[in-house]
């Protein structure tokens, strides 16, 4: 990787309140988490399907000062790998 390929600070989300650019929480207000299990012959269970449905807003919160950073959430989503 060439040095020029490294992300520049302008590509990084930083909290305008405390400058934190490392730790962020994503909080879903209202989520329904449904997991389908099949029971095995020995009585154990194996998860087959995990369906999470988020009904409410998703917030992005600073991991240090808890400031609401939801204005960055779209960019955050695009940068998830
Ligand atoms: Zn902060």
* Ligand 1 centroid from CA 76, angstroms: 15
Question: Which residues make up the environment of ion ligand 1, defined by Cβ < 5 Å?
Answer: 15, 17-18, 20, 62, 64-65, 67
In this predicted structure, the answer to whether residue 6 has a pLDDT above a threshold of 60 is no
Q: What is the pTM of this model?
A: 0.62
Tokens 């399907």 correspond to 49
How many other CB atoms are found less than 10 A from the CB of residue 38?
10
* Ligand 1 centroid from CA 2, angstroms: 31
In this predicted structure, the answer to whether residue 8 has a pLDDT above a threshold of 70 is no
Mean pLDDT of all residues in 50-74: 91
* Ligand 1 centroid from CA 67, angstroms: 5
Residues facing 37 on adjacent strands = 47
| pLDDT in the model for residue 3 | 54
Q: What is the pLDDT of residues 14-56, one digit of tens each?
A: 999 999 999 999 998 888 989 999 999 999 999 998 888 888 8
């Amino acid at each position: 990787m060439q040095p020029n390929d490294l992300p520049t600070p302008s590509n990084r989300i930083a909290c305008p309140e405390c400058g934190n650019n490392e730790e962020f929480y994503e909080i879903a207000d209202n989520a329904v988490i449904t997991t389908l299990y099949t029971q095995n012959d020995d009585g154990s269970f194996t998860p087959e399907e995990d369906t999470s449905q988020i009904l409410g807003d998703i917030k992005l919160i600073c991991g240090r000062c808890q400031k609401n950073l939801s204005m960055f959430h779209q960019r955050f989503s695009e940068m998830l790998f």
